[in-house]
Amino acid sequence: MTRDRDVRNAIQAALVATGAFDPNSVWIWGLPEDYGTGASSFAAAAIEPGGSQQSDEWDDTSIGALNVKSSVLITLLYRHEDPQLRDEAVELLFDTAANALNGQCFAGITLPGFTKFRRWDWCQADPPERRIRAIFEYMYLVEGWNEYDVTP
């Protein structure tokens, strides 16, 4: 079965398993300031849905599966008063995330060769915080026109 939410949950679990983030600081619902709370964590990440694109090679799913290419936006943030240490630490968070996520099969559906960070940008420093916003892409197959998972 295919569901992007299962992939997002698996990405969250993989980031938590690195031990690089503060406890309870890898969110799948957005950044804390979007919900009226502060980000008190020193090392944190937010995983937000991006977009998806469906394609097929055959114009007929009885011959082959639909390809779904999806992305999530992962925002990594680190807080520290020293600007050099802050920048080095957020870069280390990105490198840790790349090592944990690139080339993996998530939720038993993503194709490892298409599972990777595609782009990342440094956000302007907002002392005591620095962020990197990254686009993480993955692909999976849907074995028919009406085979999307609709279970709750």
Instruction: State pLDDT tens for residues 87-135.
Output: 999 999 999 999 999 999 999 999 999 999 999 999 999 999 999 999 9
Buried b (16+ CB within 10 A) or exposed e, 105-121: ebbebbeeeebeeeebe
First to last CA, the chain: 12
Dihedral pair phi/psi, residue 128, rounded to 5°:
-95, 30
- Distance, CA of 152 to CA of 137 (rounded, Å): 24
Give yes or no for a contact between 39 and 79, defined as CB atoms under 8 angstroms apart. yes
- Distance, CA of 96 to CA of 32 (rounded, Å): 22
| pTM beyond 0.85, yes or no | yes
Give yes or no for a contact between 44 and 77, defined as CB atoms under 8 angstroms apart. yes
Q: Angle between the 4-17 and 83-101 helix axes, to the nearest 10 degrees?
A: 120
CB atoms within 10 A of CB 136: 24
User: Could you state, in order of their start, the residue ranges of all structural domains in the chain?
Assistant: 4-50+71-136
Which of 1.10.287, 3.40.50, 3.30.2000, 1.10.4160 would CATH assign to domain 4-50+71-136? 3.30.2000
Report the chain's mean pLDDT, rounded to a whole number: 89
DSSP 8-state class, residue 77: E
- Distance, CA of 97 to CA of 74 (rounded, Å): 10
Higher pLDDT, 60 or 95: 95
